[in-house]
């Protein structure tokens, strides 16, 4: 009887240990599952930034139009469209990795003049091309997300173009001649010449360009 009791106690202890080990194993698996690469967070951040700017540039365009700065209004619309395409590409990348996009909080814009908004646009694009994209590209490379790093680089080239144009126009106080603006629907690059036959970033042909008016 004593031997039987000892065997029963040993079995119960073994079952308890196995149960604990199973629960611990499940917990570790859950913890691993919950861990998310930094690049995924960076994709969400970049997506949110592109959506915000697309929204803001649309508002800037309306303000410029109200001030009869027609050419500046068209430029804001063109770059806003570029940002929409960038956001769409980042959203597709997130979904390809098994994640859905998080809707960003769009901060309200204080009432102002078009030239003030233009100054803000210069600052926004400067931060992106000088800090945000270089940092998230480096992280994507470290985490072996080659496709994401490549996408970030393409968008960085597009935003660098935005920064150059905004900066030049701000120095002209927002007064610019009429231009022929188109956007590459494949990568979002802003085309500023009707004679351009191929996108300088993704090599898409002219039939993929969307003219902005």
pLDDT(174) > 90? no
The whole-number pLDDT of residue 10 equals 41
pLDDT tens profile 114-147: 999 999 999 999 999 999 999 999 999 999 999 9
Q: How confident is the model at residue 21 (pLDDT cuts 50, 70, 90)?
A: very low
Closest CA to 86 of 132, 139, 37, 145: 132
Q: Please give the Cα distance from 22 to 183 (Å, whole number).
A: 56
pLDDT(200) > 90? yes
What mean pLDDT is predicted for residues 93-97? Answer: 95
The whole-number pLDDT of residue 34 equals 58
Look up the CATH architecture of domain 36-176.
Up-down Bundle (1.20)
- Higher-scoring residue by pLDDT: 204, 10: 204
- Higher-scoring residue by pLDDT: 6, 209: 209
Mean pLDDT of the chain: 85
pLDDT(89) > 60? yes
Are residues 199 and 189 in contact, defined by beta-carbon separation less than 8 angstroms? yes
The whole-number pLDDT of residue 165 equals 93
The whole-number pLDDT of residue 17 equals 35
What mean pLDDT is predicted for residues 6-13? Answer: 38
Are residues 162 and 79 in contact, defined by beta-carbon separation less than 8 angstroms? yes
- The proportion of the chain whose per-residue pLDDT surpasses 70, expressed as a percent, equals 84
DSSP secondary structure, 177-197, as one string: ----EEEETTT-PEE--TT--
User: Which of 61-70, 173-182, 188-197 shows the lowest per-residue confidence on average (mean pLDDT)?
Assistant: 173-182
Q: Please give the Cα distance from 66 to 101 (Å, whole number).
A: 34
The whole-number pLDDT of residue 1 equals 46
Closest CA to 99 of 25, 46, 153, 137: 46
Q: Please give the Cα distance from 92 to 26 (Å, whole number).
A: 32
- The proportion of the chain whose per-residue pLDDT surpasses 90, expressed as a percent, equals 71
What mean pLDDT is predicted for residues 47-52? Answer: 95
The whole-number pLDDT of residue 28 equals 39
């Amino acid at each position: 009887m004593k031997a039987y009791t000892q065997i029963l106690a040993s079995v119960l202890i073994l079952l308890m240990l196995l149960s604990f080990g199973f629960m611990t194993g499940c917990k570790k698996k859950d913890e691993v599952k919950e861990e998310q690469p930094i690049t995924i967070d960076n994709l969400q951040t970049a997506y949110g930034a592109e959506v915000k700017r697309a929204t803001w540039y649309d508002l800037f365009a309306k303000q410029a139009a109200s001030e009869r700065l027609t050419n500046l209004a068209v430029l804001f619309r063109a770059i806003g469209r570029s940002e929409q395409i960038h956001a769409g590409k980042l959203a597709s990348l997130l979904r390809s990795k098994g994640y859905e996009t998080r809707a960003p909080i769009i901060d309200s814009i204080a009432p102002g003049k078009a030239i003030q908004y233009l100054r803000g646009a210069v600052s926004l694009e400067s931060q992106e091309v000088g800090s945000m994209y270089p940092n998230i590209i480096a992280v994507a490379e470290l985490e072996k997300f080659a496709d994401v790093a490549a996408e970030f680089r393409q968008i960085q080239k597009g935003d660098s173009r935005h920064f150059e144009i905004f900066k030049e126009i701000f120095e002209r106080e927002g007064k610019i001649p009429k231009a022929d603006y188109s956007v590459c629907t494949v990568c979002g690059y802003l085309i500023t010449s009707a004679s351009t036959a191929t996108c300088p970033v993704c090599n898409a042909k002219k039939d993929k360009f969307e003219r902005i008016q």
